[in-house]
C-alpha cells in the first residue's frame, strides 16, 4: 500500500470512524440514561413507553434502520439526512436501547435501603436519583458500557454501505486500486483492534475513577 493511498483514503477513513463512534456513543448514552431511568419510574405508563422503545430498537436491525432513515424517511416526511447523520442516528438509537437495559439493571441493583434513606431525608425523586442512586449505579454500568462501546465501534463499519468513507470503505477502495486484499484487510483489522484497545483502556480508567469517588477500590481482577 503506497503512501498516497494511506494519506488520501485510510487516514481520513480512520478519522471518520472515530467521529462516528464518538457521535453515536454520545447519542446512545443520552438515550440509555433517559430510557433506562424511565424504566424505573413510578408511573406504569412511563415504564411501558420506555419498555416499548427498548423492545422495538433491540428487535430491529441497525443496518435496516439506517437504510430506512436515509432512503424512506425523506419520501414519508420530507426530511433528508446526509449519510453520516443517518448512520449516527441509527446506531445511537439502536445501541441506546441496549444501554437502557444496563442503566435499568444498575439502578435496580442499588440497595432498597438507600432509596428509603433518601425518602427519609425528604429528597425529591430527582435528588434521590442524582445524589444517591446514580453515584452508586454508574460504576456498575461502566464494564457493560465498555463492551457496548466496542461493539458500536465495530458496528460503524455498516456505514460503508451508505458510501460513508470510513475505514472499512477506505479499505474497499484500496483493495480495488491495488488488488491486494490480504494486506489492506490485515491493516484494517489492526486499526480496529487499536481503536478498541484505546477505548477499553479509557473505560477502565473511568471505572477506577468512579469507584474511587464512592470509596471502592477496583483491583485488576475486578474484585472489590
Phi/psi region, residue 216 (left: phi>0; alpha: psi -120 to 50; beta: rest), is beta
Reply yes or no on whether the pLDDT at 57 is more than 60: yes
Q: What is the pLDDT of residue 100?
A: 96
Query: What pLDDT shows up at residue 79?
Result: 83
Hey, which of 120-124, 187-191, 208-212 has the most confident mean pLDDT?
187-191
Mean pLDDT, rounded, for 117-131? 84
- Judged against a pLDDT cut of 60, whether residue 221 lies above it is answered with no
* Mean per-residue pLDDT, 144-159: 95
Reported confidence tier of residue 121, pLDDT bands at 50, 70, 90: confident
Q: Which of 135, 175, 155, 174 is nearest to 93 (CA)?
A: 155
The model's pTM is: 0.88
**Which helix (H) or strand (E) segment is 150 a member of?**
helix 134-155
More confidently predicted of 199 and 77 = 199
Amino acid at each position: 500500500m503506497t503512501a498516497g493511498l494511506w494519506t488520501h483514503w485510510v487516514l481520513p477513513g480512520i478519522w471518520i470512524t472515530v467521529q462516528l463512534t464518538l457521535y453515536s456513543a454520545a447519542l446512545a448514552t443520552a438515550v440509555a440514561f433517559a430510557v433506562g431511568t424511565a424504566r424505573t419510574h413510578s408511573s406504569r405508563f412511563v415504564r411501558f413507553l420506555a419498555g416499548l422503545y427498548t423492545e422495538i430498537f433491540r428487535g430491529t436491525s441497525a443496518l435496516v434502520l439506517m437504510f430506512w432513515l436515509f432512503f424512506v424517511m425523506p419520501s414519508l416526511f420530507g426530511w433528508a439526512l446526509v449519510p453520516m447523520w443517518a448512520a449516527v442516528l441509527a446506531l445511537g438509537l439502536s445501541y441506546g436501547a441496549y444501554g437502557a437495559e444496563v442503566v435499568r439493571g444498575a439502578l435496580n441493583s442499588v440497595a432498597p435501603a438507600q432509596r428509603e434513606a433518601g425518602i427519609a431525608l425528604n429528597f425529591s425523586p430527582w435528588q434521590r436519583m442524582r445524589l444517591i442512586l446514580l453515584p452508586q449505579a454508574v460504576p456498575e454500568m461502566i464494564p457493560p458500557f465498555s463492551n457496548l462501546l466496542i461493539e458500536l465501534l465495530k458496528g460503524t463499519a455498516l456505514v460503508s454501505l451508505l458510501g460513508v468513507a470510513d475505514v472499512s470503505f477506505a479499505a474497499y477502495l484500496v483493495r480495488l486500486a491495488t488488488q491486494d486484499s490480504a494486506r489492506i484487510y490485515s491493516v484494517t483489522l489492526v486499526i480496529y483492534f487499536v481503536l478498541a484497545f484505546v477505548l477499553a483502556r479509557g473505560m477502565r480508567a473511568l471505572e477506577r475513577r468512579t469507584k474511587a469517588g464512592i470509596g471502592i477500590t477496583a483491583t485488576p481482577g475486578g474484585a472489590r
